[in-house]
Chain A
Amino acid sequence: MPRLRARRAGADDDVDIDMVPIMNMFLVLIPFLLMSANFLHLKGINTSVPVQAESAAAAPAEVPARVTVVVQLEPGGIRLSALSDAVPGPDLEDLAARLPAAGDDGYPWDALRARLQAIKARYPRSDTMILIPHGGARYGTVVRAMDTARRVDEAPLFPNVVLSGKVG
C-alpha cells in the first residue's frame, strides 16, 4: 500500500524538461537553413552549336564504327538519319526513318527513343546527336527532344547534343 501510494504521488508530479536550449538551437538553425534552402531545383543541360573544326584525323581501322544521329523536328513529325565516315551508305540508309506525328505535343517521343536505342545497340560507341528543330518549334519541345536522346532510364544514349538551325 505505501508503495502504491508513492507511485501515485510520483505520477502526479509534473516533470518539466528544460526546452529552452532546444528552442535556442532551433532558432539558430532555422534562419541558417532558410538562407541556404533551395526552393527552385535548377539543373543544367550541356549543349553546343556547330563550329568549324580542323580536319579530323582518320580513325584507326580496328576501332568499332560510330555514327552521328541527325534528328530533325518537323511540323509533321520527326525525320531521323545518321552520318558516318566508317559505315557504308546502305547501312546508314537502314537507320533513316520518318516518324509521324503522335503524342500530346505532336512528336512521337517513345518511337524516337526506341529507334535511338536500336542505333545505340548497333553502334555502341556512338554518343553524338545533331538536333535540327524547325523554326516554329517551341524551346520546351527542343529540351524535351534533348531529354529523350540523352539517356534512357539510367543508361546514356546520345549525351552529346549539338543544336543546329535548319539550313536551306
Chain B
Amino acid sequence: MALGRRKSRVRAAPPPRLHITAMMDMFTIIMIFLLVSFSDRPQTVELDRDLELPKSAARMDYADSINLVMTRDALKLEGEVVARWDGDRPVGLDPERLQESELYRRLKAYREQADRGGAQGEETKPFVLFFCDRRLRFDAVNQVIKTAGMAGYPNLQFAVLQE
C-alpha cells in the first residue's frame, strides 16, 4: 500500500523543464566574442611555444609568404630546422661563410623556383615572413636577414603582435 502511494506521488510531479534562458545568455556572449575575433584570413602559421614575438603598433596584415622562424635555439625555414644556436654560437650558419649555409641554399632554391614560376605567370611568394623572438640579439638576427638578402630576398616582413 505504501509503495503504491509513493508511486502515484512521483507521477504527479511536473515534468522537468530545461532553462533555456541561461543557455541563450551564454551562447549570446560566446557569439559576440567570436564575432569580434572573426577573421576572414584564419591563422595558418604554427608558432613555437617558446617564441615571444615583439609587440608593435603596425596595422598591416601579414602576407602569406616563406616562413622563417627564429627562436632562441633554432632557425626554421618552412617548418624545417636549418640552423641551431649553441648559446650565442650559431651551428650551421657560419657568419664568415653565409653562402655555404643550409639557409642560403634553400632560400636560393626558392628564389630560382619563384623566378621560373613568375616567368610562366604563376603566383609566387615575393618575400620572407620573419618570425623572430624579441629577446634575440641583433647580431644573430642580422646574420639571418643578411643571408636572406644574399639569396635574393632583400625584402622581408617582420611578424609582430598587435599592441
Contacts and interface: CB of A to CB of B under 8 A. Distances in A.
A42 B56 CA distance: 10
A48 B99 CA distance: 19
B157 interface: yes
B37 interface: yes
Interface stretch (B28-36, B79-87, B101-109): B28-36
A15 B149 CA distance: 71
A38 B39 contact: yes
B138 A142 contact: yes
A51 B154 contact: yes
Contacts of B27: 23, 26, 30
Contacts of A51: 149, 154
Interface stretch (A4-12, A118-126, A131-139): A131-139
Contact of A19 (B20, B35, B58, B60): B20
Interface residues of B, number: 52
Contacts of B63: 44
A36 interface: yes
Interface string A22-34: 1100100110011
Interface in B122-154: 129, 132-139, 141-142, 145-146, 148-149, 154
B138 A138 contact: yes
Contact of A43 (B58, B133, B138, B155): B58
B61 A140 contact: no
B69 to A, nearest CB: 13
A111 B54 CA distance: 22
Contacts of A49: 145-146, 148-149, 154, 156
24 contacts: A23-B27, A26-B27, A33-B38, A36-B40, A37-B34, A37-B37, A42-B161, A43-B56, A43-B62, A43-B161, A44-B157, A44-B158, A46-B60, A46-B157, A48-B154, A49-B145, A135-B139, A135-B142, A137-B138, A139-B132, A139-B137, A143-B158, A165-B142, A165-B146
Interface of B: 20, 23-24, 27, 30-31, 34-35, 37-43, 45, 47, 53-63, 129, 132-139, 141-142, 145-146, 148-149, 154-162
